[in-house]
C-alpha cells in the first residue's frame, strides 16, 4: 500500500510541476481529491 501511494505521489508531483492543479493531479493518479496527497506530504515532513 505504501509503495503504491509513493508512486501516486511521485506522479502527482510531476503533473503539478507541469502546471496541473493539485486537485486535478490528485484525481489523475487515483486519489478522490487533494486531501490525501496533502496528508501524505505532511506525514513525510513530520
More confident residue, 15 or 41: 15
What is the per-residue pLDDT across 20-34, written as a single tens digit (0 to 9) for each?
Answer: 999 999 999 999 988
30: number of Cβ within 10 Å: 13
Count of alpha carbons within 13 angstroms of residue 25, beta-carbon side: 20
Q: Which residues are CB-neighbours of 12 under 8 A, at least 6 positions away? A: 22, 25, 26, 28, 29, 31, 37
Say how far apart CA 32 and CA 46 lie, in whole Å: 23
Nearest to residue 25, comparing CAs of 10, 40, 45?
10
Spans of all domains in the chain: 2-45
Confidence of residue 39 (pLDDT cuts 50, 70, 90): confident
Amino acid at each position: 500500500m505504501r509503495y503504491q501511494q509513493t508512486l501516486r505521489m511521485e506522479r502527482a508531483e510531476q503533473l503539478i510541476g507541469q502546471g496541473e492543479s493539485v486537485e486535478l493531479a490528485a484525481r489523475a493518479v487515483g486519489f478522490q481529491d487533494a486531501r490525501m496527497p496533502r496528508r501524505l506530504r505532511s506525514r513525510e515532513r513530520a
